[in-house]
Amino acid sequence: MPRPVLTTRDLEDTPDGGELTIAPDTLITPLAADEVERRRITLRVTDVSKQSAHSHFGRVVALGSDHGGFALKEDLKAYVRDWGYTPLDLGTSSVEPVDYPDFAEAVANAVVRGDAWRGVVIDSAGIGSSIAANKVPGARAALCYDRATARNSREHNDANILSLGARLIPADAAREILAVWLETEFGGGRHQKRVDKICAIEDRHRKP
């Protein structure tokens, strides 16, 4: 059975000194653990039979990076697996210099083709990989640097690719960003109309 994950978002409605019930096998992100200690929140472990909130577990998440993002990719790949997803590693495989557009395109292609549910691209700043991935029709790559941008990119923009800058974000923050991004659903409603307009722009500029 896939393992649920506790992030700081799950703690937002819990008062300082309060109590929160979690499943026995819950994975707690590093930032959530710090928040629990700082706010003196008690985590009560109990069996939870319903796991509907984690129905996305088991889906394929494609990951790709250049040499600057290699170490962070390897770190996040392990967490993706621990959280119950299936990681699809599209390279690179070492810290030898390579070109980020190659790996960003590979991840975007995997997502657009349906080989992966979502994708993650990483380079030193995250900017180049985001630009490259967005050149693939159907890709909506978002460069995120905190929980708020991660949540917004999913709720408002239905981003299907997360871009991270390995030299700008600490590893523990990157894990938190990824956890929030993977858990957040698209809001639909008024946001759907705007995503449709983004897709329409893409359609107007497709080559005949």
> Is residue 120 packed enough to be buried (19+ CB in 10 Å), middle (13-18) or exposed (0-12)?
buried
CA distances from 157 to 28, 31, 151, 186, 207 (A): 27, 25, 10, 7, 24
Distance between CA atoms of 7 and 199, rounded to whole angstroms? 32
Distance between CA atoms of 68 and 78, rounded to whole angstroms? 18
- State the catalytic residue, choosing from 54, 156, 191, 205: 156
Distance between CA atoms of 143 and 50, rounded to whole angstroms? 33
Residue 156 designated active-site:
yes
Q: Is 125:66 a contact under the CB 8 Å cutoff?
A: no
Helices (H), 7-90: 30-38, 70-82
- Residues identified as active-site: 156
